[in-house]
Structures are given as structure tokens and as C-alpha cells.
Amino acid sequence: MDRPYRWVIVAAGGLLGCAAVGAMFSLPVFLRPMAQDTGWSVTGISTAMTIGFLAMAAASMVWGGLSDRFGPRPVVLTGSIVLAVSLALASRADSLIEFQLLFGLLVGAATAAVFAPMMACVTGWFDTQRGLAVSLVSAGMGMAPMTMAPLAAWLVTVHHWRGAMLIMAGIAAALMIPAALLVRRPPVQDDEPAQTSTDAAEPGMTVGQAVRSPQFITLMLANFFCCATHSGPIFHTVAYAVTCGIPMVAAVSIYSVEGLAGMFGRIGFGLAGDRLGAQRVLVAGLLAQAFGVLAYAFAGQLGSFYAVAVLVGFIYAGTMPLYAVIIRENFPQRMMGTIIGGTAMAGSLGMSTGPVLGGLIYDNFGSYAPLYVASWGLGLAATLVLATFRPFPAKSPLQLATA
């Protein structure tokens, strides 16, 4: 499947992910200006992000199933249009509940229309270099904090927050709709003879059998605990650094360092997964992530925060794309959207635990250190769960020829 167009799919997926994730995660940039202008509480505005994660969880498997049935292009195109329209409407919201529904519910659901369908599409276009390909798409999503977020920050300084959000809606539409039109179905489906004994080892399974399989359940649980591991540290590390006496501007730069390290992590883990096996690399990465987030509990100076941010960013960003590779190695291409959507749903639920868990821990203990200990425990759980994963038995060449 050495077709040059597959790299166009990768580029389109990276751009779509960057724009969608960047639009959703621009909310922290708008937080203070919105609160000052509208009188809405910071907690109330921030709740829109929690609603967004829950909407992503609820919508991921639905969008993935639709992409399996109708192809990724109409799903991604619909999500792109809905996201842009939702951002535009949210910029005109007159009440907090209206904003929470428009930004949280609709933008979150629309963002989910990009991840699972595009990951499923990319895995179908590649029978070699699959780990690198999905990592590059994920790297595009990882560019959001370094591109869309600074753009949103600049727009807020020049325009009212409503005008800035409306412009972000226009930018999202201008980037995402043309990119969505470039997306095509993978040229080879599992209805055709498989070419290797390890590629979709169970071509005859139904979707019902797949979602009830121990392999699918194990991957969902592993991704839930994996995302719960880094969710709290991602959301609360800046606040933790400020409590350590680090100025806010310097504390925010910790995120930038973490994001930059994540770019290298995605590529590094993707290449390692292609060479050493995705599951083996992912198990090692989850174990390293557990101890990486624990290291934050011992950081106190800006230099030590930067050092841990490089480690954590490299690892957690690198591990995420490997789930799609493991899924493609074990499930038929015709249900990739549903299966990847299911694991994405579990991951979104895991991400939704971090803000709440961190807030409760700080309110009750007056310290963020227990958060990192709890995250370490969640990371160990993710490692142990994935270590129990057993691939479907590979079929012999004769079985593949007669399947």
C-alpha cells in the first residue's frame, strides 16, 4: 500500500486535529476576559470544558460507528461545520447555561468527530510505518497549544472576547472544511484477502463480538487509567507551581515545555512502536508515565518543573497514538472507527476525572502532592491492565487465504 496519497491523509488529519483541539482548548485563554465582561463565575465557565470532555466521551463511539458505515469524509466534514457554527454561536451567548451548552456540549461533540474517524482512516491507509503515521496525526493535535492557543491569546488582546471567538470560528472553518474534503476511505478493506497474518487477525468477527471481546475491554480500561493518570497533572501543575512561589507567567511556560517535549515523544514512540512492537512500547511508556507524574510531587523550583515537564510531556504524548496501532493489529478495518471511538470514549472519561480530583484533593489537604501520588497509582493500574492484553491468535496463511 505504498501510495503517496496516504501522506496527504496524514497531513489532513494533523491539520484537522490541530484546529479542532486548538479551538476547544482555547477556552482557558478566554476565561478571565469572559468572567470580567459577563460576571459569570470562573467555575461556571470552566465547567464548559468538563461538559466538553463528557460530550467527547459520549460522541466518540457514535462518530466512529458512522465513519465505519458512511466513510470518514462526511463524518469529519459534518464535525468541522458543527464545530465552526458552535463556536460562532457561543461567541454570542447571553447566559452561562447557553454558553455551557454551545461550547461544552456542541464543540466537545464536534471535536470527537475528528479523532476516532481520522485515526481509523490513517491506520487503514498504512500497512507499514503505521506507528509513525498515527503519531504524526497526533503530533498535529499536539501543535494546538503552540499555535491555536497563542493565536487566541493575541486575538483577545486586539478584539473583545466575543469578536476573538467569532474569528476563531472562521479560522476553524477555513482550515477544517477544505482539509475534510481531502479525506478518503482506505483503499483496502478487510473484505479483501489480508496480506499478512498479523493484520486484523479476526476478519470475520462482528462489531458486537468485537466490543464484547476481552481485547476491546482491556484497551478501554487501559486508556481510561492512562488518561486519568495525566489529566490531573495537566490541569493543576500550573496552579501547583504557583503555590511553590513560581510567578504565573513562568508557571504557564511549564505547559509550553511539556507540549514541545510531547512533539518529540509522539515521533519517538511511533518509530519505536514500528520497530519493537506497539504493545511492548506502550506498556513501558505507561510505567514510565506513572513515575514521571510522581516526580512532580518533588519539584519545587522552576528548573525542576521544566525537567519533569520534559519527561512527562515526552512520555504521555508518545503513548497515546499507540492504542490505535494495537487496535488495527487486532480488529478489522471495517470497524476501526467504532473500536477507536470506544477507546477514545474511555480516554475522555479518564480526562474528565483530573480537574475534579485535583480540586477535591487540594481543598481537603491544602496541597497538590497527594494528587501526584494518586496519579502514580492510576498509572500503575494502567500498566498492569495493558500488560494483561493478549492479541487475537494470528491466522495461518492458509486460513487467511480462505477467510
pLDDT, tens digit (0-9, with 9 covering 90-100), for 126-155: 877 777 888 888 878 777 767 787 788 788
Instruction: State residue 197's pLDDT score.
Output: 40
pLDDT for 191 beyond 50: no
pLDDT per residue as tens digits for the range 94-124: 999 999 999 989 999 999 999 889 988 888 8
Instruction: State residue 399's pLDDT score.
Output: 47
pLDDT per residue as tens digits for the range 314-324: 998 889 888 98
Average pLDDT, the chain: 85
Confidence of residue 89 (pLDDT cuts 50, 70, 90): very high
pLDDT for 166 beyond 80: yes
Domains of the chain: 1-184 (1.20.1250.20), 202-389 (1.20.1250.20)
Q: Give this prediction's pTM.
A: 0.77
Q: Which one is predicted more confidently, 25 or 56?
A: 56
Instruction: State residue 11's pLDDT score.
Output: 92
Q: Are the C-beta atoms of 64 and 341 separated by less than 8 Å?
A: yes
Instruction: State residue 133's pLDDT score.
Output: 84
- Average pLDDT over every residue of 322-328: 88
Q: Are the C-beta atoms of 159 and 32 separated by less than 8 Å?
A: no
- Average pLDDT over every residue of 205-220: 90
Give the Cα separation of 252 and 146 in Å (integer).
12
pLDDT for 395 beyond 60: no
**Of the listed ranges 99-108, 114-123, 282-291, 384-393, the one predicted with least confidence:** 114-123
Give the Cα separation of 312 and 377 in Å (integer).
15
Instruction: State residue 320's pLDDT score.
Output: 84
- Average pLDDT over every residue of 237-245: 84
Residue 127 sits at the vertex; the CA angle it makes with 123 and 133, to the nearest 5 degrees, is 50
Instruction: State residue 396's pLDDT score.
Output: 44
Give the Cα separation of 45 and 94 in Å (integer).
13
Confidence of residue 296 (pLDDT cuts 50, 70, 90): very high
Give the Cα separation of 344 and 402 in Å (integer).
33
Confidence of residue 202 (pLDDT cuts 50, 70, 90): low
How many percent of the chain have pLDDT more than 70?
92
